């Protein structure tokens, strides 16, 4: 395992390349999802420029899909902005979780790295940084590789999606759960994490039958994290 002192001597371009390499599974999934988003946005009435601009500026898959549906339903801009803001609040917790791995950076570096956090890059980076210290350019690599893939997919979907007959009927949405399954397996490094994954999944399914909306996911995450954290503290003290 590398020490903090060793990180300072690391070649930033090499760390950037390592981050891009680690992000390849995310990039493949993002291209497919972004193509789907590009197609749906065009069907919702957005222009090619508006569709691509949303991916360039927002870069948040779930929020963009929701926004496209709200545009199609002719909802007000204020409602769309507020909804996407609430959906993206979870990124604050993700960024806070990654912050301890990054020390002594300038404000613009924290801002850029935080802006590039998504569910998938967070899962990847938190796994890698938990295993060993890395240079912050590694995170630049994972974040902006995913960003580039998302924009490329959006451009392809917005420009060419309508000329491919029946493409909207393909099960492209499976790319998202498949990508999450891959990232989950990467994190199952011990028995506690395996139990936590099973508990979180079970709670989410149970709460999904009792609560409307997506609150089941948030509640299952909070409950599981609390139980797992308490269990770790109890084991370490005993």
pTM of this prediction?
Answer: 0.70
pLDDT at 143: 94
The answer to whether the beta carbons of residues 20 and 140 sit under 8 Å apart is no
pLDDT in tens, 128-180: 888 888 888 999 999 999 999 999 999 999 998 767 666 556 665 565 566 56
Least confident of 20-34, 66-80, 181-195: 181-195
Q: Which two tokens stand for residue 165?
A: 């007959």
Q: Is the pLDDT of residue 199 over 80?
A: yes
pLDDT in tens, 48-57: 999 999 999 9
Q: Which two tokens stand for residue 213?
A: 């909306």
pLDDT at 62: 78
CB contact set of 110 (below 8 Å; sequence gap of 6+): 99, 102
Q: Which two tokens stand for residue 59?
A: 């870069």
Query: Burial letters for 70-79: b for 16+ Cβ neighbours within 10 Å, e otherwise?
Result: bbeeeeeeee
The answer to whether the beta carbons of residues 12 and 135 sit under 8 Å apart is yes
End-to-end CA distance of the chain: 27
């Amino acid at each position: 395992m590398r020490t903090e002192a060793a990180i300072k001597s690391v070649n930033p371009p090499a760390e950037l390349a390592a981050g891009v390499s680690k992000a390849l599974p995310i990039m493949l999934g993002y291209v497919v999802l972004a193509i789907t988003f590009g197609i749906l946005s065009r069907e919702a009435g957005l222009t090619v420029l508006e569709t691509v601009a949303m991916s360039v500026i927002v870069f948040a898959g779930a929020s963009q899909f929701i926004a496209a549906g709200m545009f199609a339903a002719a909802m007000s801009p204020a409602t769309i902005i507020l909804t996407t803001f609430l959906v993206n609040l979870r990124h604050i917790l993700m960024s806070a979780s990654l912050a301890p791995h990054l020390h002594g950076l300038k404000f613009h570096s924290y801002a850029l790295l935080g802006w590039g956090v998504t569910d998938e890059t967070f899962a990847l980076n938190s796994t890698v940084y938990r295993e060993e210290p890395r240079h912050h350019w590694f995170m630049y690599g994972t974040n902006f590789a995913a960003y580039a893939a998302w924009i490329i997919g959006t451009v392809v979907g917005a420009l060419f999606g309508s000329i491919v007959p029946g493409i909207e009927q393909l099960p492209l949405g499976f790319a998202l759960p498949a990508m999450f399954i891959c990232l989950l397996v990467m994190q199952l490094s011990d028995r506690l994490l395996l139990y936590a994954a099973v508990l979180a999944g079970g709670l989410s399914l149970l709460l999904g039958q009792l609560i409307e909306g997506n609150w089941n996911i948030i509640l299952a995450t909070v409950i599981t994290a609390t139980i797992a954290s308490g269990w770790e503290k109890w084991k370490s003290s005993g």
